[in-house]
């Protein structure tokens, strides 16, 4: 489970900390953009972790289905089809554009790999039915936790975007200033 530690040094601790959205109207536009980008990066990393967990869930479910139907083909032989199945379906809710690539994947991957090591996913066919059921429960619990944190981070991104948009609408921010800042020109 992803815990948020008040006052912690990790990015998720900052983004979901009480101070992050306090007094947005008083912050300089540049700070708002920096916070929005930081929160967006956290959302991207959580989305990556969530996708990794979905793949593991799909593999465990495929093995359970193979056993219940008496199928002979191994999960390894079906791996491409299993992973592609959810990659092409239409999601219940449209996704958000992710302008960033995942970072800190090693940290996130270690978290998931620790979960995988406990579940023995490297050889799902060797797991007992009970171990498969427990693996699925652990993965779905972790996926639920990641999804909750991701939704919280999305709310932070939305709040920051709303403040930035409000400034443009009110005329207190301009595209010319943004372009000058991006070119490195003094304000």
List, for residues 13-30, the tens digit of each pLDDT value.
999 999 999 999 999 999
Of 89-93, 113-117, 134-138, 169-173, least confident by mean pLDDT is: 89-93
Q: What is the pTM of this model?
A: 0.77
Q: Answer yes or no: are the C-beta atoms of 73 and 127 closer than 8 Å.
A: no
Mean pLDDT of the chain: 82
Region 37-41: mean pLDDT is: 96
Q: Answer yes or no: are the C-beta atoms of 117 and 138 closer than 8 Å.
A: no
Burial class (CB in 10 A: 0-12, 13-18, 19+), 172: exposed
Q: Report pLDDT for 164.
A: 94
Q: Report pLDDT for 1.
A: 79
Name the nearest CA neighbour of 40 among 48, 180, 70. Answer: 48
């Amino acid at each position: 489970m992803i815990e948020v530690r008040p006052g912690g040094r990790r990015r998720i601790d900052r983004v979901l900390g009480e101070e992050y959205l306090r007094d947005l109207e008083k912050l300089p536009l540049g700070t708002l953009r920096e916070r929005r980008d930081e929160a967006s990066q956290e959302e991207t990393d959580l989305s990556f972790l969530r996708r990794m967990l979905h793949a593991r869930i799909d593999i465990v479910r495929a093995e359970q289905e193979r056993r219940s139907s008496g199928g002979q083909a191994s999960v390894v032989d079906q791996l491409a089809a299993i992973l592609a199945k959810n990659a092409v379906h239409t999601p219940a809710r449209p996704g958000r554009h992710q302008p960033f690539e995942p970072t800190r994947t090693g940290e996130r991957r270690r978290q998931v790999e620790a979960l995988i090591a406990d579940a023995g996913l490297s050889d799902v066919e060797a797991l007992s039915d009970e171990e498969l059921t427990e693996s699925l429960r652990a993965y779905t619990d972790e996926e639920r936790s990641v999804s909750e944190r991701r939704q919280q981070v999305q709310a932070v991104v939305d709040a920051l975007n709303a403040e930035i948009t409000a400034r443009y609408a009110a005329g207190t921010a301009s595209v010319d200033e943004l372009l000058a800042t991006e070119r490195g020109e003094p304000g």
